[in-house]
Structure 1
Amino acid sequence: MLLRLVSYFCRAALAAMLDPQWGVDIIIGGHSHTFLDQPAEVNNILIAQAGVGTDQIGRFDIVVDDDTNSITEWKWQLLPVDSNLAEPDPEIEKLIEIFKDEVDRKYNRLVGRLARKLIHPRREEETELGNLFADIFAQQDSLDVAFTASGAIRGTELGPLVTLSDLKKIYPYDDVFYKLKVTGAVLTKIFAYIMRLENRVPGESEYLQVNKGVKAVYRDAEEKLESLSIHGKPVQDDAQYTIAMDGYRYQNAFYRLGVTEEELTQLGNPKVITTSCQDVLEEYFGCHQNLNSQIEGRLVYK
């Protein structure tokens, strides 16, 4: 129940803020992957969501009063997508077959090999795959810290053999990757923000994986960053450090990192390291074999 409340909290807050005169009757949620057996109702607004993926579909049957332009009756169903819901269309299947060989040749080719299967069981903690991807991104330039969004890793395991399809599935989001120079004070502020307890809510986390050499310790009870070091040296407020992040986090720095764009760019404008994070991963996997990664305690919570 707690997870359900957390997952639609933002939509419920939005519904509570809306003026009834605006005529909003239904909010269909997405992104948080929440399964709602029945809609929530806030401020006379129905809030529904059909989970994640294509295994199910949400169906809303509503009756609208034309005179008042309002919903008088409704029925919500979460339906599994299988042969009982709809029979396969043979014409669509023929169309798919036309492209199947070409698609298989491209995406089933082997792009790399890991020393063993690496896992990413939860997005709210340091993981083997998270460390591997952060380390790969950190090697693209002279970087002290490479932030990698844990939620962008959309799978729980990878390897040991890795096809292009596997790589695209585990990291489906493509984005530009920015390099910036910041002061130690700004870097410390970022870590103090991203390591907060409320940023580790299961399913809703904005947890960030970081590269080898970074060590940060956070005390939950005191809501305080205890220490931050890079390659064994404490971060100094007046020193300068190079960091990198995807475009989404840079463009939403205030909400995702706890700093303003002005703070991020006070020492200079960002530099584009790559226009495609996916290309970086594919190229690295193709040039390096038997990759391995361990959980090292890069981000420590007490």
Structure 2
Amino acid sequence: MTSTCTLHILHTNDLHSHFEQMPHIAALLKEKRSRWEAQGEHVLTVDIGDHLDRMSEPTEATWGKANTQILNRSGYQYATIGNNEGLTLTKAQLNQLYQQADFTVVLSNLREPETGEIPPWAVSYAIHRFGDVQVAILAVTAPFTPAYQQLGWDALAPRAILLEQVSALRPHVDAVVLLSHLGYQLDVELAEQIEGIDVILGAHTHHLLEHGQQVGSTLIAQTGKFGQRVGHITLSIDHQSSKVTAADAEVLDPLDYPEDSGVRAFLAQEFRQAEELLITTVAQLPVDFQLDWEKESPFATFLAASIRDWTKADVGMANSGLLLTELPAGPVTKLELLRCLPHPINPCVVTLTGAQLAKVMERAIQPEFVHKELRGFGFRGKVAGWMGIDGMTVEYGDTPDSTIKQIKIDGHPLEPARAYRVATVDMFMYNRRLLPELLDGKDIRFFLPEVLREVLAATLGNEAIVQSSFTPRYTRC
């Protein structure tokens, strides 16, 4: 009798609630499992986080529970969380997300602040047994520490935790598999620094590694985004020596498989129910808010004013590209706000000197910023758009390379050395290439868990803010 067995791992990452892929993915997972198990081989099915995204109607209406049900119906055995699960839900909502899960959530670097314990819906690691063969499954997520702290969690740096886990588990198992929602570069660093991890299944940065990447003795794999590919790892494991003797990676196209009818029917039902739940009216809008990404508009001004009012800052700034649809006068529903502002983006406040604020504004009015195509960091739009502002007026030259002539804060000339509290959106704090001067500020505070559409739901009824948004903040001279 041979001591070698074959383990197949099917993995997905960063689906972001692209539910249209799930009936095909479910069919693929089930067909492959049936075939390989009939051949006496072993199978694991795992998701590496950001399966949910609140831009989707069923996700928004159920606080992600529809995603959990889809994972159940598709046959997943293990999952970990990404920043969309961890940072776009309140602590109470995240604690409820996996109550009906038929799979095991693995996560070692998110803890309860008071006790240091793993949350009750997760385990810090799992040992999956196939007869005498044992596979250790570890998992970590990107530690956006300040944001997690405001939500009531401790997010710990993963390296020391993984070093300890691998050291303790490696002598007792035949393979070690890490589910990593850290991003490609950190996966490479972990593979270089920690001996004993056989496979890192990655996520977060949306890399597509069609045949994986071997880094030392570790195979790294990641399948891109939106369920466009399913990863397939094949491991040959020698139980006698407790070693992986061969490891290969490929990606599969789920559209090569017919839809799973049960998953398709469940999704159709979830979309119908979500629309019924989201047509709740949240405000009455007395005026039309039209959309313009290329020049100042009352809607973008209103967004900036809403963020400023919500955070009680001196100045508000929000780029008009965040607004994806217009809002007509009349009743405004949750569904309309979801379609207008689908981003999992929160307000934040940073302290800038007047000189730093002037540099931010100088950059923000340049055509290359206004027309810049944006991707990632929670942004679900197309271009940055014109910067809406509140609490501030700007005079600028009308030339191809616009130059600011004067800035006033609350009617007074900007003072270069003075500190101003500036309210804006958190995506600028995660990407230095956009407005780097913002990241040079001090005392950054994230306002969680409310996303922008929830802030607007609270301010649309404020007639003073609505009406004042029609007063221009910019003057060309």
Q: TM-score of the superposition, structure 1-length normalised? A: 0.60
Shift of the alpha carbon at 1:299?
A: 2.2
For structure 1, list consecutive stretches of 5 or more residues without a partner in the other structure: 1-88
Q: Residue by residue, what CA displacement relative to the aligned partner does 1:252-300 show, whole Å, maximum 9, x if unpaired? A: 2x42224262x212xxx31123332233223334x64797344322123
Find the aligned partners of 1:291 and 1:235 in 2 and give their Cα distance: 23
Computed over aligned residues only, the root mean square deviation of the Cα atoms, in angstroms, reads 2.9
Other-structure match for 1:275: 449
Other-structure match for 2:278: 107
Tell me if structure 2 keeps the 8 A contact 1:126–1:295: no
Alignment of 1:68-87 (within 5 A): none
Shift of the alpha carbon at 1:144?
A: 1.6
What code does the residue aligned with 1:177 have?
P
Find the aligned partners of 2:464 and 2:410 in 1 and give their Cα distance: 25
Find the aligned partners of 1:150 and 1:288 in 2 and give their Cα distance: 20
Tell me if structure 2 keeps the 8 A contact 1:113–1:159: yes
2:140 is aligned with 1:140: no
Tell me if structure 2 keeps the 8 A contact 1:185–1:237: yes
Find the aligned partners of 1:144 and 1:260 in 2 and give their Cα distance: 15
What code does the residue aligned with 1:218 have?
Y
> Hey, which bits of structure 1, 4+ residues long, moved more than 6 A?
89-93
Other-structure match for 1:12: none
Tell me if structure 2 keeps the 8 A contact 1:113–1:289: no
Q: In structure 1, which of residues 185, 196, 214 is the aligned counterpart of residue 366 of structure 2?
A: 196
Distance 1:103 1:208, change over 3 A: same
Other-structure match for 1:162: 332
What code does the residue aligned with 1:111 have?
V
Shift of the alpha carbon at 1:251?
A: 1.9
Find the aligned partners of 1:165 and 1:282 in 2 and give their Cα distance: 11
Distance 1:288 1:234, change over 3 A: closer
Distance 1:226 1:163, change over 3 A: same
Other-structure match for 1:41: none
Tell me if structure 2 keeps the 8 A contact 1:115–1:291: no
Structure having greater relative contact order (Cα 8 Å, sep ≥ 6): 1
Tell me if structure 1 keeps the 8 A contact 2:304–2:424: no
Distance 1:168 1:159, change over 3 A: farther
Find the aligned partners of 1:158 and 1:259 in 2 and give their Cα distance: 35
Other-structure match for 2:199: none
Tell me if structure 2 keeps the 8 A contact 1:193–1:258: no
Find the aligned partners of 1:257 and 1:215 in 2 and give their Cα distance: 19
Other-structure match for 1:295: 470
Other-structure match for 1:171: 341
Secondary structure of 1:189's counterpart equals helix
Secondary structure of 1:259's counterpart equals helix
Q: In structure 1, which of residues 259, 262, 267 is the aligned counterpart of residue 437 of structure 2?
A: 259
Shift of the alpha carbon at 1:173?
A: 0.7
Percent identical residues: 16
Tell me if structure 1 keeps the 8 A contact 2:289–2:328: yes
Q: In structure 1, which of residues 208, 223, 226 is the aligned counterpart of residue 387 of structure 2?
A: 208
Tell me if structure 2 keeps the 8 A contact 1:112–1:288: no
Tell me if structure 1 keeps the 8 A contact 2:459–2:465: no
